[in-house]
């Protein structure tokens, strides 16, 4: 198990920029505030693939959705946060004229 979020309060945090992470940043900010942590954002990168490289270069740490973090690198450690109860909303978007039958069950489930 990794560290608690509170332990990262003194570290600089590397995130995606507000354009590429516009859906994730509000969730992250809310989660941090609930834990009493105000992240010290060092960098906001336009390219998600550069984040692990910046962490490897000791520019800071990152808080990253686990569904996105599929990097296997020997030079950085990746651990879930201790006692994390954070949940990320997933949204479905489709073109209104989409006739693909695979979309129909998703639309029906979304109400």
pLDDT (tens place) for every residue of the chain, 111 residues total: 667 788 877 888 888 888 888 888 888 888 888 888 888 888 788 887 888 888 889 998 888 776 555 667 788 888 777 777 777 666 667 778 877 888 788 777 766
Residue 99, in any domain of the structure: no
The number of domains in the chain is 1
Tokens matching residue 82 = 């201790």
For tokens 């490897």, name the residue. 56
**Selection from 71, 69, 64, 79 nearest residue 21 by Cα:** 64
Domain of 63 in residue numbering reads as 5-86
**Selection from 32, 65, 35 nearest residue 51 by Cα:** 65
Model pTM score: 0.68
**Selection from 54, 96, 77 nearest residue 107 by Cα:** 96
Residue 100, in any domain of the structure: no
Residue 37, in any domain of the structure: yes
For residues 16 and 45, the answer to whether their CB atoms sit within 8 Å is yes
Question: At residue 12, what are phi and psi to the nearest 5 degrees?
Answer: -75, 145
CATH code of the domain in which 22 resides: 3.40.190
């Amino acid at each position: 198990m990794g560290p608690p979020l509170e332990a990262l309060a003194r570290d600089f945090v590397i995130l995606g920029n507000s354009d590429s992470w516009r859906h994730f940043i509000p969730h992250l900010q809310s989660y941090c505030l609930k834990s009493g942590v105000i992240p010290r954002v060092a960098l906001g990168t336009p390219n998600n693939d550069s984040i692990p490289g910046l962490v490897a270069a000791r520019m800071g740490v990152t808080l990253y959705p686990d569904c996105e973090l599929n990097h296997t690198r020997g030079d950085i450690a990746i651990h879930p946060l201790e006692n994390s109860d954070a949940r990320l909303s997933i949204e479905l978007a489709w073109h209104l004229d989409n006739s693909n039958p695979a979309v129909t069950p998703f639309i029906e489930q979304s109400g």
